[in-house]
Amino acid sequence: MKFATRMNHFGEGIFTKLLEIKRKRLEQGQPVIDLSVGTPNIPPAPHIIDALCTAAADESNYIYAVNDQSALLEAAGSWYLTRYGVELDPKTEICSLLGSQEGLAHISLSIIDEGDLVLVPDPCYPVFADGPRLAGAELYFMPQRKKNDYLIQLQDIPEDIAARAKFMIVSYPNNPTAALAPDSFYTDLIRFAKKYDIIVLHDNAYSELVFDGRTCGSFLAFPGAMEVGVEFNSLSKTYGLAGARIGFCLGNAEVVARLKTLKSNMDYGMFIPIQQAAIAAITGDQGSVEKTAKAYERRRDILCEGFTRIGWNMEKPAATMFIWTRIPAHYETSENFAMDMVSKAGVIVTPGSAFGPSGEGHVRLALVQDEEMLRHAVQAVEASGILKVEL
**CA dist., res. 7 & res. 374, Å (int):** 37
Which residues on neighbouring strands pair with residue 232, listed in sequence order?
203, 249
**CA dist., res. 77 & res. 279, Å (int):** 11
Q: Is the dihedral of CA 113, 115, 117, 123 positive or negative?
A: positive
Where do the domains of the chain lie? 5-44+288-384, 46-283
Q: Domain 5-44+288-384 is in which class? A: alpha beta
Residues whose CB falls within 8 Å of the CB of residue 171, separated by 6 or more in sequence, listed in order: 121, 124, 125, 128, 202, 203, 204, 205
Contact 380, 321 (CB under 8 A): no
**CA dist., res. 68 & res. 98, Å (int):** 11
E strand or H helix at 165? strand 165-170
Are 5-44+288-384 and 46-283 the same fold in CATH?
Answer: no
Q: What is the pLDDT of residue 390?
A: 60
Q: What is the pLDDT of residue 25?
A: 87
CATH of 46-283, one of 3.60.10.10, 3.40.50.20, 3.40.190.10, 3.40.640.10: 3.40.640.10
Q: What is the pLDDT of residue 391?
A: 41
Peptide bond preceding 182 in cis form (omega within 30 of 0): no
Q: What is the pLDDT of residue 14?
A: 66
Per-residue pLDDT of the chain in tens (391 residues, 90 and over written 9): 988 888 877 766 666 777 788 888 889 898 899 999 888 899 999 999 999 999 999 999 999 998 899 999 999 999 999 999 999 999 999 999 999 999 999 999 999 999 999 999 999 999 999 999 999 999 999 999 999 999 999 999 999 999 999 999 999 999 999 999 999 999 999 999 999 999 999 999 999 999 999 999 999 999 999 999 999 999 999 999 999 999 999 999 999 999 999 999 999 899 999 999 999 999 999 999 999 999 999 999 999 999 999 999 999 999 999 999 999 999 999 999 999 999 899 999 999 999 998 999 999 999 999 999 999 999 999 999 999 866 4
Predicted structure pTM score: 0.94
Strands across the sheet containing 117-122 = 94-97, 247-251, 229-234, 199-203, 165-170, 117-122, 138-143
Burial class (CB in 10 A: 0-12, 13-18, 19+), 136: middle
Q: How close are the terminal C-alpha atoms of the chain, in Å?
A: 52
CA angle 220, 225, 228 (to 5 degrees): 130
**CA dist., res. 93 & res. 302, Å (int):** 41
